[in-house]
Amino acid sequence: MNTEALAVQHFEELEPGVLTAVGSEGEQPSLADDLRLLADEAKELAQAEFSFQKSRAAYVGTESRNIALLLIVAVVLVFFALVALVVGTVIALGPLLGPWGAMAAVTIALLAIAGFCAFRAKGRTARMMAILSDGGTSA
Q: Name the residue range of residue 33's domain.
A: 3-133
Q: Where are the alpha helices (DSSP H) in the chain?
A: 3-10, 31-133
139 falls within a domain? no
Percent of the chain with pLDDT strictly greater than 70? 77
Instruction: Kindly tell me if the per-residue pLDDT of 9 is higher than 60.
Output: no
DSSP secondary-structure letter at 134? T
109 falls within a domain? yes
pLDDT in tens, 72-97: 999 999 999 999 999 999 999 999 99
pTM: 0.55
Structural domain total, the chain: 1
pLDDT in tens, 101-138: 999 999 999 999 999 999 999 999 999 999 888 865 65
Interatomic CA distance for residues 120 and 118, integer angstroms: 5
Find, among 3, 39, 19, the residue nearest to 11 by Cα. 19
Instruction: Kindly tell me if the per-residue pLDDT of 19 is higher than 70.
Output: no
CB 32 within 8 Å of CB 69: no
Interatomic CA distance for residues 127 and 120, integer angstroms: 11
Interatomic CA distance for residues 81 and 86, integer angstroms: 9
138 falls within a domain? no
